[in-house]
Amino acid sequence: MPTWSTACPDWERRIVERESLVPFEPLFPSEAEAALNVFKSLRMVDVTGSPTFGEACEPFVFDLVRAIFGAYDAKSAKRLIRQFMLLISKKNGKSTIAAGIMITALIRNWRLEAELMILAPTMEVANNSFKPAAAMVRADAELDALLDVKDHLKTITHRTTKAELKVVAANAKVVGGKKAAFVLIDELWLFGKEAHAEAMLGEATGGQASRDEGFVIYLTTHSDEAPAGVYKDRLDHFRAVRDGRVVDPKSFGLLYEWPEKLIEEEAYLDPRYWYITNPNINRSVSHEWLGDQLAEAQRKAGGALQIFLAKHLNVEIGMRLRHNRWPGAEFWAAAEDATLTLDTLLNRSEVVVIGADGGGRDDLFGLCVLGRERDTKIWLCWNTAWAHESVLRRRQSIASKLVEFKKRGEIWIIDDELVDVADEVDLIEPTDVLELPKDVAGVLRIVDKVNARGLLAAVAIDDMGPFDELVDALALIGVTQESGQVVGVGQGIKLMASIKGAERKLSNRTLRHAKSTMMDWNVSNIKIEATATAVRATKQNAGDEKIDTAMALFDAASVMRTNPMPVVRTAITNSEIVYRGGLL
């Protein structure tokens, strides 16, 4: 049994120097060469002159084919590397390569009536793989006699083994019950936008449990927004394997992306470096065309440049690449404090301001607990949020993100049921039952916890938000406007000082925040709009890309910047509350 590693820790040097990103030789060379001979003989009908793959492809394609098919041990009928990913810029022949690999697998397969599948997120994407596959069969008389193409069913069947390659668009009913040994999943980034994609991919690949010869190949470009869902999950795993942070010799990713240093230098805007994520440059995609498209994207408003960079230069979209992004986003990642939790924040703080922000049922109910650290006076930020389950239906484009945040414990997805918190908080006038909406109850628990520690200065609330229920609930624990502990915060340009102040404190590291992918997403969605006299924060896309927890931070900052002190409840007598500073 061979030993091998799929890690490629020196990938940044290799990709710049145009070296192979496959760090291992084929585990079974004879299998690799036999499959490569088949693959090289297939014709690319959509390319001028209909050359074969062998005549027209760059070496990276052959490296990938060798890695996939060279991992198969014919003696044990077992494939030793089972999962692969190709991350590459658009227009580098990805769908045609997919077609060639799956036709090769169909020809090399020995199992009778085996199932092979190309799973695409949409019918349009499915056709991008089926059409070149069908064309390469018909372009070769010998192959046409061996394989039967049925265009209306999007299937190609091996006449001898009766094995069938089927190209399908994503649908739970279509993939349910499939027993495919060989599965190629195209445009994984689009699956990342679907809330139920994980279950669908599980159905699609479930047939491999009893078919050891099989493989799963993920093909994708970068997403036109921050990675999410199954796309983020798979991308993170393949990166970790490549970098050597996770040992998984059964997984290998051929990832054409930018070294961090070149991202920092914005080298992706320099045509000299475009080969890094376009290994097929000047074959399927030209320097001149990329230059023209970049210039056009730079002239356009909105997110045109962001989309171009993601799709054609394979630049991962994050906080640094948002159009008109909040300048503080540039410093957000560096200000993360992995030790911060709600409890550690309270232990380290001398005073706390809680910010609350949100809108209707389509929005997040965002909460920020902002503490001022004893001695250092550094601001410490922890966030959470609540989302109504209806958002998952109404805002499909972000549903997978919200589900992911819920799994991480960063957000609560709630229904309309009320919860009784009478025994969970310190009420001024005790009662047997106190039923509240789940988001209001959640906020009340946190405010009560902070107040019980003698740390609460105020709850800063978006004065334009629907927070009557919250204000009423806070009054039940003695947190009121009269006590100075409920503060309405003006929105729009009235938040300008808080927005600019938070940016400055992030840049000099006097604002630290807990680790939260949900908050990272909110921060990345902030768009700064200039007015005649000031700036204001808005969303990148109305309705979908949420910023509520980030706005909760700005609400809290608007009070914290006034250098508040805790308002401490010291006694309760006949329903009267004594606060430091006087009897109310």
Q: What is the 3-state secondary structure (H, E, C) of 22-45?
A: CCCCCCCHHHHHHHHHHHHHCECC
What does the pLDDT average to over 163-186? Answer: 79
Q: Which of 518, 540, 230 is nearest to 387 (CA)?
A: 518
User: pLDDT grade, residue 526 (50/70/90)?
Assistant: confident
- Residue range 454-493, pLDDT digits in tens: 999 999 998 776 678 899 999 999 999 888 889 988 777 7
Round to whole Å and give the CA distance between 23 and 4. Answer: 9
Q: Are strands 349-358 and 251-255 parallel, antiparallel or unpaired?
A: unpaired
- Residue range 51-108, pLDDT digits in tens: 999 998 999 999 999 999 999 999 999 999 999 999 999 989 888 999 999 999 999 9
**What is the pLDDT of the chain when averaged over all its residues?**
87
CB 154 within 8 A of CB 123: no
Helix, strand, or coil (residue 202): helix
- Residue range 381-428, pLDDT digits in tens: 999 999 998 888 777 778 888 888 998 999 999 998 999 999 899 888
Q: Are strands 115-120 and 83-87 parallel, antiparallel or unpaired?
A: unpaired
Domains along the chain with CATH numbers: 11-264+269-276 (3.40.50.300), 329-583 (no CATH)
> In what helix (H) or strand (E) does residue 371 lie, and over which residues does it extend?
strand 365-373
User: pLDDT grade, residue 367 (50/70/90)?
Assistant: very high
115-145 burial by CB neighbour count: b if 16+ within 10 A, else e? bbbbbbbeeebbbbbbbbbbbbbeeeeebee
Q: Look at residue 569 and tell me whether its pLDDT is greater than 70.
A: no
Q: Out of 223-232, 263-272, 404-413, which region has the weakest mean confidence (pLDDT)? A: 223-232
Round to whole Å and give the CA distance between 66 and 44. Answer: 19
Q: Give the rounded percent of residues in the chain with a pLDDT score beyond 90.
A: 59
Q: CB count, 10 Å around CB of 10?
A: 13
pLDDT reported for residue 285 = 86
Q: Which of 425, 254, 459 is nearest to 356 (CA)?
A: 459
Token duo for residue 191: 């699956």
Q: Find all residues with CB under 8 Å of 278, minimum gap 6, and list them.
A: 88, 89, 91, 92, 256, 285, 290, 312, 313, 314
